[in-house]
Amino acid sequence: MPAHRTTMRKTREILRLRWHLGQSVRATSRSCGVAGSTILELESRAKAAGLSWPLADDLDDAALEALLYKREAAPPARELPDFASVHRELRRKGVTLELLWLEYKERGGPQAYSYSRFCELYGKWRGTLDVVMRQSHRAGEKLFVDWAGQALPLTNAQTGEVTEQPIFVAALGASNYTYAEAAQSQESACWLMAHVRAFEFLGGVTEVVVPDNLKTGVTKACFYEPSLNKAYVELAEHYGTTILPTRVAKPKDKPKVENAVQQVERWVLAPLRNHTFFSLAEMNAAIAERLAWLNDRPFSRLQGTRRSLYMELDRPALRPLPAKRFEPADWKVDVGVGIDHHIVFDKHYYSVPHELVGKRVDVRAGFLIVELFYSCPATPSLAH
């Protein structure tokens, strides 16, 4: 048993046996039940403290312990790094945890934590955040889009008929800056124009747009390579971005937009539940007002707001908007040409060159023009 774990009663008895009665170390060890090495260490400490037998009458146990076991002053506690700032900086392009540690070490000097300890402490701090906040999306990298599960009622002022208007939601990956609008429907044209207005709201374009596997944007929900409809591809080409749908049955791919939808439903749509709207413009004006409140609402566990992080991180990293606004078109693929060299599109007949009778064409209908595309099959090689 180490000396510092002996009771003060045994300490006094050891000193009495050794200094007053002159007992041997072995005899004192048997009498007190303490190891010989402990007895020798205790005597050494007592001599160093200037003690002698008998001990002073006013030397109580606390004072005796203080003399024998002078506690070394605890080293000053090292200040933890500003992990909120570390988490924010990691969202900038090219910034790594190792780089941030090196910068921290330069500031902290010899008292700075090692790299492994720095990473361990950051991991523990990061674990206290919500799942959505723990994700480290790069600034300007991703825009998550989806329809909200909740709609807003729109009343026809003439007939009193009430329709449920779908709500489009978009959220930036790095800052969680959020956009929402009420759409006329969930048809392809409304879906695409909601993207257009979202880009204009953000003042730029992200590298990637991440939708759920929706029929309005994805024609075939494949685990590895989902097929996008042609109108959605045209939008991506116009804005110089990439459409990367979430994988089927992979909830970790979309917590960002799911959280954004939840926030919009909770702080934008729920407060408007008792309002009566007579036009889509009136509804979207109210949504915009509540949306501004949401983007300016302080985070609960991080410094700043969605808007402040957007201005600091995402806004400088967004790609510029193209000079011309995108105009969506309807596509219908693999349309058969009848024997009267006409095709049917949207209940209208359009003539095509008679050479295409019996062939299959793709139809693109814009606001002012309808275009037909025919892909000529490759000429087979001649057999010899």
Share of the chain above pLDDT 90, in %: 31
The highest-confidence range among 26-40, 262-276, 339-353, by mean pLDDT, is 262-276
Query: Which one-letter amino acid corresponds to residue 71?
Result: R
> Residue 109, exposed/middle/buried by CB under 10 A (0-12, 13-18, 19+)?
exposed
Residue 308 has pLDDT above 90, yes or no: yes
How crowded is residue 14: how many other Cβ atoms within 10 Å of its Cβ? 24
Q: What pLDDT is attached to residue 215?
A: 59
Instruction: Please state, in angstroms and rounded to a whole number, the distance separating the CA atoms of residues 177 and 161.
Output: 34
Q: What is the DSSP string of 227-243?
A: EEPHHHHHHHHHHT-EE
Task: Provide φ and ψ at 335, rounded to 5°.
Answer: -95, 130
- The domains located in the chain, with CATH, are 3-68 (1.10.10), 83-128 (no CATH), 142-317 (3.30.420.10), 330-373 (no CATH)
Q: Report helix, strand or coil for 82.
A: coil
pTM over 0.75: no
| Res. 71 pLDDT band, cuts 50 70 90 | low
Tell me: the pLDDT tens digits for 105-158?
887 777 788 888 888 888 887 777 665 554 568 889 999 999 998 999 999 989
Cα dihedral: 379, 365, 345, 332 (round 10): 50
pLDDT at 76: 60
- Is a pLDDT exceeding 70 seen at residue 214? no
Most confident of 59-73, 97-111, 144-158, 343-357: 144-158
Q: What does the pLDDT read at residue 382?
A: 39
CB atoms within 10 A of CB 198: 23
**Mean pLDDT within 316-342:** 82
Euclidean distance between CA atoms 296 and 142, whole angstroms: 21
> Higher model confidence: residue 323 or residue 381?
323
Q: Nearest-CA neighbor of 198 among 258, 284, 308, 293?
A: 284
The pLDDT, as a whole number, for residue 221 is 42
